[in-house]
A and B are shown apart, each in its own frame.
Chain A
Amino acid sequence: MLGWELLPHNSGGLGVACYHMSKALALQGASIDFVLPYSAHHPDTEFMTIHGATTLSPLERYGKMGAYDSKHITQKELNVHEENDDLNDMRGVQRRYVKFVEKLVKNNQPQAIHAHDWLTMEAGMRAKELTGAPLIVHVHATEFDRSGENAGNPIVHEIEYQGLMMADRIIAVSSITKSIIMRRYNIPGDKIEVIHNAIDVASLGVYDYDHRTYKYLESLKNEGYTVIATVTRFTIQKGLTHFIRAAARASEKHDKLVFLLAGDGEQRDELIRLSADLGIADKVFFSGFVRGKPWRDAYNVADVFVMSSVSEPFGLTALEAAHYNAALIITRQSGVSEVLRSIFRYDFWDIDTLADQMVGIALSPALSEDLKINVRHEYARISWHDVASQCLKLYTNATSSRIPV
């Protein structure tokens, strides 16, 4: 298993998905070597063997770049024989990662190689070359998703394309992602399996909501305000400017709305400026980057959770929000909307519809309650156990369909 991050050292959904998927696979008998680009202590991972490809700490692994940020990648060729591995550079880290995997598979012949996203695809291809084991490429996000309405990095596109071409089987986390892979990379659909992500409710643990974390928002709620929240990275992919515009539009019709934007990212200043320009600066709250308790409290204080993504392969946070009892509004461009029914859907650009849905929920206790209660029945049915079963079946089929060399 080739990954780039793992709980608790994750900056996004990839590390969460990799953790729970591996755990469920191990429970069903898989023996897993999990390779990471950094070294760190990972509690509760005795079900698999974790390998750190470098001695970097989790925070250092990206050099000066963000976890998923691909726009600074300028070096196309990954010459693994080059000695100067500059670990301040993403390509340098990837080079070391490939070298490490080469060594690992020499002593440790895998039956299947499961590589997550473009970051590990080169290592995956190299491992396949050396061992002849089938390569399964698991696509959590494509460069087209990461770049939002922009073009994306051509080098990353190239690596992704190669990885998808070389893969024996591809796992896409949603039908949306599958169709992007087919349309943008011309990969035939029968090579791609859709396996939706799940949520591990047990791991969220027993938890007491702390009313004091967002005390001001709680006091507004007592006065009849509705808290509409989103918890995300502030990047173009997340469609937050549309969210702010819809917030302003909704506030024209219903005064008692407040908006919580939990998270951080390159767009933060732009979003603050935009809410001021639209005259709703006093209604929009920026919490900064949150994890742990204030992160869970952000879900809890929310009456409504909005996923405004322009392109979201899956969107695990929506399931977490459902778990913490929020009504959900999700763009049709988000994969998670494929597995839920008791939600509102809208197209990411359609701010009038989003505003209408926000106001509708705020004005109707029955609507709000029914959405919350019904979606709880739905997300609880989606389990990592099923994801693991599907993966195992895929490994077996990929192995048996290959011509032995």
Chain B
Amino acid sequence: MTKRGIVLYLHVHQPLRVRQYSIFDTAEHHDYFNEQDTSTDRNNERVLRKVADKSYRPMNALLEKLLHKYPDFKVSLSITGTFIEQAEQWAPDVLESFKRLVATGQVEIVAETYYHSLAFFYSLEEFERQVRQHRDKIRELFGVETSVFRNTELAYNDSLAKWADEYGFKGILAEGWDPILEWRSPNHVYKPVNTDDISLLLKNYRLSDDLAFRFSNKAWEQWPLTADTYSDWINASMQDGPLVNLFMDYETFGEHQWSDTGIFDFFEQFIGKWLANTDNTFYTVSEAISAHQSAGEISMPNTVTWADTERDLTAWLGNSMQQEALRHLYALEDEIMRSGDLQLIADWRKLQTSDHVYYMCTKWFTDGDVHAYFSPYESPYDAFLYFMNALRDVRYRVSEYHKHRGLRG
């Protein structure tokens, strides 16, 4: 009999934040991501070191301990290229600990875009190049192949599923959003509409968000959440289906929910508690797909993400600044690629990371939900200003490149 299982999938990511890059830097300096002020969260090194201490080091140590203690404990991770590059520079030991996790054989790496971008919605060619670059990096670093795909911000629609199917992925992840599911439960494997050989895993957002968003909220009627209560909830949820997909940011552990909230102790107790019942297990994403039959077809013609109450892309593309920024950015693609200048191409791609446009979000002005939109900038307008200045510099560099090459004949 197939065991009841949890799929724990954690997303590891850090963007390269743009410094206070002014119009007077444009065409002069090209160091957009090199904030000198060490007291601000625009300083990427500062953030990486801080989160490494608070989250990556303690959580990886705990995961390693639990993986050795419980052979049935499984984890799936997606790790962005922009995180890996920063960890290589400032926290190589953290990368080593990720390698040890993967080496247990109980940890699967999930594919995504190297730059955590929204390229799928702008340029399929560029999108595929970033997927390939990520697979190459994962192979080089961990010696494993990826077979399940997640798109940035879990942004999913039918054409993405079709693309992933044709590309050869056997699984893809998405939000288990009620208006799409209607009477159906997210606790099954599904098949995306119009695909041949790919399965869909849907996030159980209620149980995921209990940890990711509500765990430390003292105003929550369930606070403080215990491992016993949470296990009961998972058991109850499994009346609907044998699979509970807990998808969340890795940084939930230690960064979004600080150590003093008890998140690490809770997590350790919960894993032990869950596996104490021999009917229970954990699956990696591909194990879950192999072990279960599809319960039916799911169609999402419109893009669904894992963000906000709307579950759409409005946090990234909702206002005209965000749209303008990305339109101008992707308009440079041909010229950038033709330059063949690797540094220039990399800088252009680092600007594609979705966090940049997220910082330009003005939705919270109307929602009043300031805390939902953490940003290292004083305002969305400042974020836009620095980004656009950097983009202008990229444009300047590419035109210089072609001009000089033209002059040389």
Contacts and interface: CB of A to CB of B under 8 A. Distances in A.
The reply to whether chain A is a binding partner of chain B is yes
A369 B366 CA distance: 17
Interface stretch (A91-99, A107-115, A258-266, A353-361): A353-361
A42 interface: no
Contacts of B366: 377
Interface in B312-348: 319-321, 323-325
B14 interface: no
B385 A366 contact: no
Interface in A342-383: 342-345, 352-353, 355-357, 359-360, 363-367, 369-371, 374, 377-378
Contact of B381 (A253, A342, A363, A377): A342
B362 A342 contact: yes
Contact of A253 (B24, B324, B379, B382): B24
B367 interface: no
B328 to A, nearest CB: 9
A128 to B, nearest CB: 41
A371 to B, nearest CB: 6
B285 to A, nearest CB: 38
A359 B23 contact: yes
Contact of A378 (B321, B324, B365): B365
A388 B392 CA distance: 49
Q: Is the interface of A mostly helix, strand, loop or mixed?
A: helix
Nearest to A362: B23
B385 A370 contact: no
B23 A364 contact: no
Interface string A306-317: 000000000000
Contact of A365 (B24, B324, B379): B324
A344 B22 contact: no
Given A374-B365, A377-B366, A356 B381 contact: no
Contacts of A254: 23
B263 to A, nearest CB: 32
Nearest to B370: A341
A166 B268 CA distance: 63
Given A356-B389, A378-B365, A367 B381 contact: yes
Contact of A353 (B22, B321, B365, B381): B22
B22 A352 contact: yes
Nearest to A375: B365
A371 B381 contact: yes
A356 B319 contact: no
Interface in B357-398: 362, 365-366, 378-379, 381-382, 384-385, 388-389, 392
Interface residues of B, number: 22
B321 A342 contact: no
A277 B323 CA distance: 41
Nearest to A357: B385
A344 B379 contact: yes
A370 B363 CA distance: 11
Interface in B8-32: 22-24, 26
A344 B381 contact: yes
B22 A377 contact: no
A360 B23 contact: yes
B388 A360 contact: yes
Contacts of B381: 342-344, 367, 370-371
B23 A356 contact: yes
A345 B23 contact: no
Contacts of A360: 23, 384-385, 388-389
A249 B22 CA distance: 12
A250 B385 CA distance: 14
B238 to A, nearest CB: 45
Taking each of B320, B321, B381, B388, which has the highest tally of chain A beta carbons within 10 Å of its own beta carbon?
B381
A357 B365 CA distance: 20
Nearest to B384: A367
B379 A364 contact: no
Given A360-B388, A370-B320, A344 B362 contact: no
A364 B384 CA distance: 10
17 contacts: A249-B24, A343-B381, A344-B382, A344-B385, A345-B378, A352-B22, A355-B23, A357-B385, A359-B23, A360-B385, A360-B388, A364-B384, A367-B381, A367-B384, A367-B385, A370-B362, A377-B365
Interface of B: 22-24, 26, 319-321, 323-325, 362, 365-366, 378-379, 381-382, 384-385, 388-389, 392
Given A370-B381, A377-B365, A378-B365, 5 more contacts: A343-B381, A360-B388, A363-B388, A366-B321, A369-B320
Shortest Cβ-Cβ A-B pairs, 5 listed: A366-B324, A366-B320, A356-B22, A360-B385, A359-B23
